[in-house]
Structure 1
Amino acid sequence: MRKLVQPIPGVPLPHGILNACTTVEDVTDVHELMGVEWRALGCCPVHEWKDPCLTDDSPGEESPGEPVAKQFCRPEFEHAQPITLYAGAECSTFGWSYEEAVTHARATMALGEQHGLEAAFWSGKLTVDAVDLTPAAGPVSVAQGVAALEGCLAESYGGVGVLHVPAGAAALLGCCNVLTRDPATGSLETLAGNCAVIGAGYSAENTGPGGIPAEPGTAWLYITGPVHIRRGPLDVIPDRSASVNPRTNDRRVLVERTYVVGTTCTVCAVLVEVCA
């Protein structure tokens, strides 16, 4: 008979959505976990104003006519919807206590919550709002794709953004030095300074705008503005007595957590080649 030993522990991927590239805020206000909205900051352009009195277009002694109009931008409201993830554990009550079931479910959530959150954010936000930059000729190289994405973001947002990369395409960003590691934070950054999330959940989805799956040998990359994650407490459901089904004598335990993942301004996408 085989001897029962402790499970093999795991470590979440170091550059996933819950790491250095994003802001993760643990909140207890249930209202924030029902969804949030805000006025977008940084999406409005900053213009140069040229004083007509100091240029060759100065009217001199003539009537100046209509004054030069400055442009004003009305900030748009943005919003983010809640995402609830759960991990469940089921086993016979013989030899498996309630505490052990809770510990197992918690460990499952700790190892897999990044994967689940990445997949939900990809399908619920990135594929829904993205502008597709893929040329008519088809997918481009990884370096060309990143360049197009960073150009798209820079045209609409002046700050540091986040590059969203499926784990299956990550190695290709290292071969051309597209990404380098910041020794201070440990994050991966492009030459332009944008941070990169390498997601296993992204790799599981690998769909383009509209949810269209990538063809074999290709992958979708996305870029957004900063990503802010509101994360609720971890709830254990149900309590000890309600966890047992008396008909089967099996115990079921769930752990759940709600997140609200927000980003700002433009979302851009491009299809790249991941094989020769």
Structure 2
Amino acid sequence: MAAGLRKSVEAINGTPLPHGILNTPCTDVRDVADEHELLGVEWLALGCCPVRSWTDPCGDESPGEESPGDESGAPGTKEFCRPETEHAEPITLYAGAECSTIGWSYAEAREHAEATLALGEQQGLEAAFWRQKLTRDAVDLTPAEGPLSVAQGVAVLEGCLAESYGGVGVLHVPAGAAALLGCCDLARENTATGGLSTLTGNCVIIGAGYSAENTGPGGTPADPGTAWLYITGPLVVRRGPSVTIPDRPGPSVNIRNNDRRVLVERTYVVGTTCTVCAVQVEVCP
């Protein structure tokens, strides 16, 4: 059949992966309108300071009215931790639609661009967060002997998080390695929340954007047959409203070639806390 005789139908819609960064109970997603929050945020780290045990060397269980801590470091003194200031920078994602003005209206171009962003924002945010935070700040725990098995890698990461944070964190897994989590029953679905969690109780994010990146600390590409896994503290995603540019038909047309362009943008700020750990694992036997 000739192409000109084909009937035009609606686009094939899709659904973002169910355990991605925006579609999981692992992430606290907050839709915000305050533009100041979308310029970046900072906070005092909570949970990164250790809670220690102490025994009165004199055997007196009464704490007294004065602070038992001092700066001498002598036996029996208590240690104090100064919370660090953490921050998160903005990430702006966009989707653009370009078409001829013949047969495609501004409304149709706008709808297409907005639908593209809605379907792809999760993957785009995962890739950006991977580059902006995970690969920049992670401590590489891969042994000198080389990549570990997936089970060993998860164990190493969870140990790292437990030592530095102690609360429930998030395991970040590329979609290309996710199937291997089932080999050793490493992740289970939480029937109460619908999310995935490890036996330790840490949340699991399976990211299409993670799989597209698959780089180690410093942006080192994964060797063939391997993948990078990361673990962090809890995640908070601040998400601004989507903005369509231009917001009316006239300026969307380039009068030189009669093409129409419509752009949709959205800004996000993804924050996490305490240590970020990474390990390289084998995905091929």
TM-score, normalized by length of structure 2? 0.92
Amino acid of the residue matched to residue 112 of structure 2?
H
Cα distance in 2 for partners of 1:115, 1:67 equals 52
Secondary structure at 1:255's aligned position in 2?
strand
How far the C-alpha of 1:174 sits from its partner, in A, is 1.1
Aligned length: 266
The Cα offsets for residues 50-101 of structure 1, whole Å up to 9 and x where unpaired, read as 122339xxxxxxxxxx772101000000000000000000111111111111
Give the counterpart of 1:89 among 97, 104, 122: 97
- How does 1:126-275 map onto structure 2 within 5 Å? 126-239=134-247, 240-275=249-284
Cα distance in 2 for partners of 1:203, 1:145 equals 17
Secondary structure at 1:88's aligned position in 2?
strand
The Cα offsets for residues 135-184 of structure 1, whole Å up to 9 and x where unpaired, read as 01000000000000000000010210000000000000012100000011
Cα distance in 1 for partners of 2:8, 2:22 equals 33
Q: Which runs of 5+ in 1 are unaligned?
A: 56-65
Amino acid of the residue matched to residue 162 of structure 1?
V
Cα distance in 2 for partners of 1:9, 1:205 equals 24
Cα distance in 2 for partners of 1:186, 1:244 equals 45
- What's 1:17 paired with? 21
Give the counterpart of 2:129 among 114, 118, 121: 121
Is 1:98 the counterpart of 2:102? The answer is no
Amino acid of the residue matched to residue 173 of structure 1?
L
Cα distance in 1 for partners of 2:118, 2:36 equals 24
Cα distance in 2 for partners of 1:131, 1:67 equals 32
- What's 1:43 paired with? 48
Secondary structure at 2:167's aligned position in 1?
coil
Q: RMSD in angstroms over aligned alpha carbons?
A: 1.1
Cα distance in 2 for partners of 1:52, 1:69 equals 9
Is 1:8 the counterpart of 2:35? The answer is no
Cα distance in 2 for partners of 1:67, 1:91 equals 74
The Cα offsets for residues 214-241 of structure 1, whole Å up to 9 and x where unpaired, read as 0110000000000100000000001321
